[in-house]
Chain A
Amino acid sequence: MAGPDGRLDGAWAERWLRESARVIAEHREELIDLDRAIGDGDHGENMDRGFKAIVAKLDDESPDSVAAALKMAAMMLMSKVGGAAGPLYGTAYLRASTAVADSDALDGQAVAAMLAAGRDGIVARGKAQSGDKTMVDAWTPAAEAAVTADPADGVAALVAAADAAETGAEATKPLVARKGRASYLGERSAGHLDPGAVSSALILRAAVTAAESGSGAGGPGAGA
């Protein structure tokens, strides 16, 4: 189970969001190029703008729970990102926030519930299915993998989810897009990674990094 250093509480959620902002900024150009190939080239720019806004908000006030952090992220993404990514990620974080509303610290079961709720939000908003070459192709395997981890261990669930998201994102390459702007390319969309699936995998890996870097930076309950 999650040790005191890996406690998945509000402080972890804040570290997750900050780490997400860092990796998105680092991969900004890569996401733009992926999106230029099959979309309109703004995914890296839009995600970077949204996560920079989240960090600016975090610098103002620290959320006191996972749910509060995720809800704040949802609001910032919806109001700053635009495009398809803003409402999709925004809905994912909002539903995830609701799913963990009663948890002070997430165990494996809570992580799985959080990821499943996020995935369900994306599916509901975007009306995409697995195999459509979208974010869903990273989130669905992630949510499914989290359930197979030790229900008591939050970090293990995150690791399983991040691994599965990366495999899922990689698997979008040969697919023909059926949703979003890439769908207009038809067969020409095959042979390229889906930018939304790639950014999803980056963000889920950031959750693991944030859990592993928690030593000494835990919330009030750390070390208990």
Chain B
Amino acid sequence: MKKLINDPQKVVDESVEGFGLAHSDLVTVHTDPIFIGRVGGAVPGKVGLVSGGGSGHEPLHGGYVGKGMLDAAVPGPVFTSPTPDQIVPATQAADGGAGVVHIVKNYTGDVLNFETAGELCAAEGIEVRTVLVNDDVAVEDSLYTAGRRGVAGTVLVEKIAGAAAERGDTLDAVEAVGHKVVANVRSMGLALTPCTVPHAGKPSFDLAEDEIEIGIGIHGEPGRHRVGLEPADALTEHLLTPVVEDLGIGSGEKALLFVNGMGGTPLSELYIVYRKAAQLLADRGVAVERSLVGNYITSLEMQGCSVTVLRLDDELTELWDAPVHTPALRWGA
């Protein structure tokens, strides 16, 4: 294991500390328990937005704390969900009196800890709603699993629900917009290489030089199929086709196309994937009106990418375009 770290046990603490120093104009880092809040605290009368999950997915979630997006983010240990004793104070810090929406990726640990925290917050008098993100079409049969995982679509949910909260929508409305994004977004990813969790010290799965794993989640967990390496265009087709089919998006519709890097793939390659994905959508008569390309939800240094399609309407486009000012996403503000 070759990493820019001091002590595997201190990776999260030291990384979050550096993050706070680098972005002190936007965020405040709280320690013991660790969570990241918006500078200046909760905005009175505004619905609060809180997300969180294991560390190792940077810039998710701390990178999206700021105006127009999250009010607080709760990082757990690497690839392990945070605990209720972190989520509860983060929720309290995000509560401006209008209630709080938890944005939770559908992974068992995240769901259980946010559920427990939500019950504790309710006992404290804070109304908490949950938007569960489950955009990963790689998990085919959700009847016999924990259900579809929440992956790259989470970034889009946080941006759009964040814009709704920022413009003053009610708790009901912010929650509804979050559910609307979830209903209209699908993703699928692939890995060229595994990643190494610092405290484990060894790769989380083994992959031969000429093999790739299709349908990976964001924790380096194996996917559903292992296939031989193919050119980028063919791989892009493997990702986009199930996304488009599951979403049922077709001719005459508008979309946001998001190609996300898993942390170890250069932007040049992500743009090669974007090129093909955009062509494939155009072939189907789908108008790509908005785009996002880059490392927005990663798995440490894993090489690979995911392709996400969000069906757009006027409301979602307007909220996507609304000003945002966070460490990892900024426009119009």
* A interface list, Cβ under 8 A from B: 32, 36, 39-42, 45-46, 78-88, 90-91, 125-126, 176, 178-181, 183-186, 188
Contacts and interface: CB of A to CB of B under 8 A. Distances in A.
Contacts of B263: none
Given A40-B204, A83-B81, A181 B116 contact: no
Interface stretch (B60-68, B82-90, B175-183, B251-259): B82-90
A88 B200 contact: no
Smallest CB-CB A-B distances: 7 pairs:
A183-B145, A79-B85, A87-B112, A83-B109, A84-B108, A84-B109, A82-B83
Contacts of A83: 76, 80-81, 109, 113
The A contact surface, by secondary structure, is helix
Interface stretch (B125-133, B218-226, B275-283): B218-226
B107 interface: yes
Contacts of A125: 112, 115-116
A140 to B, nearest CB: 19
A87 B116 CA distance: 7
Contacts of A86: 83, 109, 112-113
Contacts of A186: 145, 224
B332 to A, nearest CB: 36
Contact of B200 (A41, A82, A85, A181): A41
A188 B222 CA distance: 10
12 contacts: A41-B197, A42-B200, A45-B200, A78-B83, A82-B81, A84-B81, A88-B112, A90-B116, A126-B112, A178-B144, A179-B145, A184-B222
B30 to A, nearest CB: 15
A173 B49 CA distance: 41
B59 interface: no
B293 interface: no
A144 B2 CA distance: 49
B79 A78 contact: no
Interface string B127-161: 00000000000010000111001000000000000
A132 to B, nearest CB: 9
A82 B80 contact: yes
A65 B278 CA distance: 65
Nearest to A132: B144
A184 B221 CA distance: 9
B221 A84 contact: no
Interface string B79-119: 11111110000000000000000000001110011011000
Contact of B139 (A78, A81, A85, A184): A184
A122 B86 CA distance: 22
Nearest to A45: B199
Nearest to A176: B144
Given A45-B77, A181-B146, 4 more contacts: A42-B199, A79-B33, A184-B139, A184-B224
Contacts of A36: 200, 204
Interface residues on B, range: 20 to 34
Nearest to A178: B144
B83 A79 contact: yes
Nearest to A86: B83
A88 B223 CA distance: 25
A147 to B, nearest CB: 28
A78 B85 contact: yes
A77 to B, nearest CB: 9
A183 B79 contact: no
Nearest to B77: A82
A40 B146 CA distance: 15
B82 A42 contact: no
B217 interface: yes
B77 A42 contact: yes
Contacts of B197: 40-42
Nearest to A46: B80
Contacts of B221: 39-40, 181, 184-185
B113 A82 contact: yes
Nearest to B215: A184
Nearest to B136: A184
A45 B199 CA distance: 8
Contact of A184 (B76, B83, B84, B217): B217
A29 to B, nearest CB: 11
A184 B224 CA distance: 7
A91 B119 CA distance: 13
B83 A181 contact: no
A10 B34 CA distance: 33
A41 B204 contact: yes
Interface in B175-226: 197, 199-200, 204, 217, 219-224
Contacts of A178: 144-145
Contacts of B84: 78-79, 87
A39 B220 CA distance: 10
Contacts of B204: 36, 40-41
Contacts of A90: 116
